[in-house]
Amino acid sequence: MSFDITPTAAQHDLARRTHEFAEQVIRPVAADYDQRQEFPWPVLEEAAERGFYSPLFYRDLIGDPTGLSLPMFMEELFWGCAGIGLAVVMPALALSAIGQAASPEQMLQWAPECFGTPGDLKLAALAISEPEGGSDVRNLRTTARRDGSGPDADWIIDGHKMWIGNGGIANVHVVNAVVDQELGHKGQALFIVPGGTPGLDMVRKLDKMGCRASHTAELKLTGVRVPAGNLLGGQEKLEYKLARAREAVEGARHSGSATLGTFEQTRPMVAAQALGIARAALEYVTEYANRREAFGAPIIDNQGIAFPLADLATGLDAARLLTWRASWMAATGVPFERGEGSMSKLAASELAVRTTERAIQTMGGWGYVKDHPVEKWYRDAKLYTIFEGTSEIQRIVISNALGAADGKPPLHVDLEPTGGPLNRMFGRGTPARTQVGNTALSMKDRVPAPVMQMAMKVLRPPRK
Ligand SMILES: Cc1cc2nc3c(=O)[nH]c(=O)nc-3n(C[C@H](O)[C@H](O)[C@H](O)COP(=O)(O)OP(=O)(O)OC[C@H]3O[C@@H](n4cnc5c(N)ncnc54)[C@H](O)[C@@H]3O)c2cc1C
């Protein structure tokens, strides 16, 4: 499967239907939910009715071998509103973690609990970050210990989680906890903690700068008891993982990339969300700059206004290409050896901040007040250089990969080529092709023109 940005009819239709949903359902209520910082239940219901809120939907998005469905959906949804968008997609983050760790039986049991059904919606949360450890996942202090030694012994979880989307209101919390202190971040495991489990408490809902329609909370886990079956992947797999980690513990101490790399797969998804915010701001402000007059002419006639917008339009397309490439790599199993997932997240999130800031500047005073949505987009965009790995962490992943690559060629040189031996033998610039071409051209005065044209058609270079 080669990287191709031509959408299929189904992808095109998905993007169009998502855009309609964003325009007709999300945009009209976005400012209100932002101001009230309320969870947008009616919008989630509508999303579920339209087929955008179910485990099957995400299985289909992730299962698209071209990789394009997922970022196309995210960009359109977040074009509507990032806060509401986060509320809609939050269970997908939890589902993705379950998918990476769970047994097939656990997946079947918990995936429906993450979403529910229209009229009876459910929520899911992914609880990794802690007050002392956001970027530094080695510093996580939440612990899980067995209460007994038998294979059916319960787990007891104690700890403190911070910044958790849907935390405390979710039906399913996927909680990361340390099961072996000695092994640091390699000694962690994921557990399902159902909402309402005794000892799981929401300390507070956080009062955020942006993305305010999404619910983000601080959680405490005090003696939270879950059955053995809630350890994702099961005991046997955990013991195998811990044994391997013990063998490799020296190596692990010298490398941070394994843990950071775990997040690489979900980063293009988050990058596409940032693209949605950036595109919304760029479209809005370009239209404004065409309409708004100063000194007798539209302000876009000034290069001081137009050129930054041209730079942002270029940056937007560049970031989208990085995002689609990373998403295609995730879908086709090409390893992220150069930090390609991080590149997409870094480029898209920083572009979103630059674009929304420029949108405010372009609108002058009108950009600074809530009469227009750009100040909200600016607040929303800022989250994207912070969560799912800060910009600094993305740069660490990319520079580590750069160091590890040690002169490795770029991805396109490294990928397994498509096409057979004929393709290689008669490809552009090959001696065989040059020789045949020169021979044909040397006969051009002796051969009738139609025959020559036919010969040139036959001598076309390979299509790929
Ligand atoms: C609104 C919101 C929603 C979130 N949702 C979730 C969620 O659902 N689930 C979840 O688990 N987490 C979530 N997070 C947590 C988020 O992933 C963390 O905030 C993020 O990883 C940063 O961690 P921190 O806040 O502890 O900052 P720190 O790790 O303390 O970083 C502080 C600063 O130091 C920099 N820094 C740290 N280490 C280095 C280094 N080695 N080199 C250079 N600079 C460095 C950082 O880049 C940052 O600028 C959310 C956060 C927010 C704000």
> Is ligand 1 within 6 A of the CB of residue 163?
yes
Residue 341 within any structural domain of the chain = yes
Q: Please give the mean pLDDT across all residues of the chain.
A: 93
343 and 318 Cβ atoms separated by less than 8 Å: no
Looking at the CA of residue 128, tell me the nearest atom of ligand 1: 11
Q: Which of 88, 129, 140, 215 to mutate to test the pocket of ligand 1 (most atoms within 8 A of CB)?
A: 129
Is 331 a domain residue? yes
- Mean per-residue pLDDT for 253-274? 68
Q: Please check whether residue 186 lies inside any domain of the structure.
A: yes
Q: Are residues 231 and 287 in the same domain?
A: no
228 and 267 co-located in one domain: no
Same domain, 135 and 201: yes
Query: Model confidence over 273-310: pLDDT tens digits?
Result: 999 999 999 999 999 999 999 999 999 999 999 999 99
Output the pTM of the full model.
0.94
Note whether residue 185 is domain-resident.
yes
Domain boundary (222, 247, 272) is at 247
The predicted-structure confidence for 447-458, as pLDDT tens digits, reads as follows 898 888 888 877
Q: Is the model more confident about 262 or about 338?
A: 338
Whether residue 411 is found in the same domain as residue 263: yes
Whether the per-residue pLDDT at 139 is higher than 90: the answer is: no
Ligand 1 atom closest to the CA of 131, numbered from 1: 26
pLDDT value of position 464 = 61
Is residue 286 a contact partner of residue 259, using CB atoms and an 8 Å limit? no
Indicate whether 264 pLDDT > 60: yes
Task: Please choose from 387, 391, 397, 398 the residue to mutate so as to test ligand 1's pocket, defined by most ligand atoms within 8 A of CB.
Answer: 387
346 & 218 share domain? no
CA of 398 to the centre of ligand 1 (A): 17
Q: What is the pLDDT of residue 436?
A: 87
Question: Could you give the dihedral angle defined by the CA atoms of residues 113, 117, 118 and 119, in that order, rounded to the nearest 10 degrees?
Answer: -70
**Greater pLDDT, 257 or 141:** 141
Judge if 401 and 267 occupy the same domain: yes
- Per-residue confidence (pLDDT) for residue 252, from 0 to 100: 47
pLDDT-based confidence at residue 124 (cuts at 50, 70, 90): very high
User: Which one has a higher pLDDT value, 115 or 432?
Assistant: 115
> Are residues 273 and 392 part of one domain?
yes
Asked if 233 and 294 sit in the same domain, the reply is no
Query: For the residues 73-81, what does the mean pLDDT come to?
Result: 98
Say what the pLDDT of residue 255 is: 44
Arithmetic mean of pLDDT, 391-420 = 89
37 Cβ below 6 A of ligand 1: no
Cβ 97 under 6 angstroms from ligand 1: no
pLDDT at 406: 78
Range of the domain at 327: 257-418
Q: Is 400 in the pocket of ligand 1 (CB under 6 A)?
A: no
Q: Is residue 13 part of a domain?
A: no
264 and 409 housed in the same domain: yes
Q: Is the CB–ligand 1 distance for residue 197 below 6 Å?
A: no
Task: Find out whether the beta carbon of 393 lies less than 6 Å from any atom of ligand 1.
Answer: yes
Lowest mean pLDDT across 157-171, 193-207, 325-339: 325-339
Same domain, 230 and 355: no
**Residue 418 pLDDT class (50, 70, 90 cuts):** confident
Task: Using most ligand atoms within 8 A of CB, pick from 137, 266, 386, 388 the residue to mutate for ligand 1.
Answer: 386
Give the residue whose CA is nearest to atom 37 of ligand 1: 135
| pLDDT tier, 251 (very low <50, low <70, confident <90, very high otherwise) | low
Q: Is the pLDDT of residue 253 over 80?
A: no
Whether residue 181 is found in the same domain as residue 282: no
Q: What is the pLDDT of residue 259?
A: 40
Does a structural domain hold residue 339?
Answer: yes
Asked which of 209, 228, 247 is the last residue of a domain, the reply is 247
Task: Report the pLDDT value the prediction gives residue 461, as an integer from 0 to 100.
Answer: 74
Distance (angstroms) between ligand 1 centre and the Cα of 456 equals 60
Average pLDDT (316-329) is 97
CA of 387 to the centre of ligand 1 (A): 6
Rounded mean pLDDT of 40-48? 98
- Band of pLDDT at residue 258, cut at 50, 70 and 90: very low
Whole-angstrom CA distances from 51 to 69, 98, 236, 331, 377 are: 14, 21, 37, 22, 26
Residue 431 falls within a domain, yes or no? no
Distance, CA 134 to ligand 1 centroid (Å)?
A: 4
Residue 75: per-residue pLDDT: 98
Give the CATH number, domain containing residue 145: 2.40.110.10
Which of 142-151, 231-240, 248-257, 391-400 is predicted least confidently?
Answer: 248-257
pLDDT for position 137: 83
Domain end call among 228, 247, 266:
247
Amino acid identity of 140? Answer: L
Active-site positions? Answer: 388
Q: How far is the CA of 137 from the centre of ligand 1 (A)?
A: 10
From the CA of 352, how far away is ligand 1's center (Å)? 18
**pLDDT at 408 (0 to 100):** 84
Residue 280 and residue 190 in one domain: no
Place of tokens 């949108």: 359
Residue owning the nearest CA to atom 42 of ligand 1: 392
CATH number for the domain harbouring residue 374? 1.20.140.10
Ligand 1, atom 16, residue with closest C-alpha:
387
Indicate which residue's Cα is closest to atom 38 of ligand 1: 135
Mean pLDDT of 314-329: 97
229 close to 106: Cβ distance less than 8 angstroms: yes
Domain membership of residue 194 (yes or no) is yes
Q: Indicate the number of domains in the chain.
A: 2
- Ligand 1 centroid–CA 216 distance in Å is 14
